[in-house]
Structure 1
Amino acid sequence: MKNSDQQPESDATLFRQSVKGTRRLKQDKVVHPPAKKRQSPLLKQQHERAQRNASHHFSDVFEAHFGAGPLKYIADGEDPYLAKQLRRGDFEPDLLLDLHGLTQAQAKRELAALLASCERELVACCSIMHGYGEGVLKQRVPHWLVQHPLVRAFHQAPQAWGGDAAILVLLRVQS
């Protein structure tokens, strides 16, 4: 595109000439914000009531005595052999709860929700991972578990399920 008596045309000039007479496209695409999931007020009330009912079992004042050695508990009337079975890992947890980073109040609510879920879904064994941290949840969780009527037994978890940073819990299943 060179004329003998003109300078070579730049790419920008050629582009402008080729798009001459056109107009810009108008953006007509509408981006909608994601829809918020709405929970019916009745369902929300039922959920809150279930959490309140489940969490009423846990007192922060109650202190159980667990003795020396690994953490274990057997409810009255239960077979003492359950503790050994839990320690060996004979029971495999169906639900896991990780309490890392939660406050005591949050952990108590989550624990109540876990136990309510276990009852609803007929789960006989669950694992609660409280972690090491400063040891607050590690100390509180067993005292809360002892107070719940569905807890048959619990033991410090075997290494495969978290070792001394977790607890395996055996629950009564009411069919």
Structure 2
Amino acid sequence: MKKKTSLSEEDQALFRQLMTGTRKIKQDTIVHRPQRKKITEVAPKRLLQEQVDNSHYFSDEFQPLLNTEGSTKYVRPGRQPISS
């Protein structure tokens, strides 16, 4: 496709003559990223809840749901284990 210009040859030559020695303007727009809040401290309520949860799971009261029939298997129910 050819570019269509509405300028005459004389005007184009004058423009080129005037633009010799010029350079492109460096992009001077600076985009700042939004500042993120620094999380330095865990909220006291959350910290307390985590301590309560941890004390339960690591205590003698916690009873995990384990298979009581035979040994522990890492196979979906209904699948045969791969023997080597």
Greater strand content: 1
* TM-score (ref. length: structure 1): 0.21
* TM-score (ref. length: structure 2): 0.35
Give 1 or 2 for the bigger CA radius of gyration. 2
Greater helix content: 1
